[in-house]
Amino acid sequence: MSLTRQLLGREAEAAAEGLLRRKGYRILERNVRVGRGELDIVARMGETLVFVEVKARRTDRYGGVAYAVTAQKKRQLIQLAARYLARRCLELQPCRFDVLLYDAGNSAFPVLEHIENAFEVAGDDRRW
């Protein structure tokens, strides 16, 4: 990953954390390594554990940030969350998946969009 992409990612995650805090979320962890993968932000809102995937883009070349969370990425996030919960004995903890889109685009001011409960875990996906 290029330094420019790393910096964009860090900038996006910092902005995401700030937005979530302002909305009342409690940030528990950032950049959590789980096996070979990583959870960007783990937060709590009330009694719910929230796994937040942060996606940043500067260009719409590949469909923009909204297209960055593919079906494959969703499956990976579900598996990572399952491992995270199992390691902490939290399998019964209510949780959800949010996506935070950071569009740096051509503007001097990046646009943040927080999609709460961005996708559901189907019954057969919740095998942890």
Tens of pLDDT, residue by residue over 68-125, are: 688 899 999 999 999 999 999 998 999 999 999 998 876 678 889 999 999 888 765 5
pTM: 0.86
At residue 126, does pLDDT exceed 50? no
Range of the domain at 31: 3-125
Give the largest Cα separation in the chain, rounded. 44
What mean pLDDT comes out for the span 40-53? 97
* pLDDT score, position 5: 76
Q: What tokens were used for 114?
A: 């927080």
Query: Residue 22 belongs to what H/E stretch?
Result: helix 3-22
Query: Residue 50 belongs to what H/E stretch?
Result: strand 48-57
Nearest C-alpha neighbor of 116 from the set 10, 25, 37? 25
Q: Which residue has the higher pLDDT, 91 or 61?
A: 91
Angstrom distance (rounded) from CA 59 to CA 105: 6
Please count the structural domains in the chain.
1
Determine contact, residues 75/122, Cβ cutoff 8 Å: no
Nearest C-alpha neighbor of 43 from the set 28, 58, 65? 28
Half-sphere exposure in the Cβ direction for 9 (13 Å, CA): 11
CATH number at residue 28: 3.40.1350.10
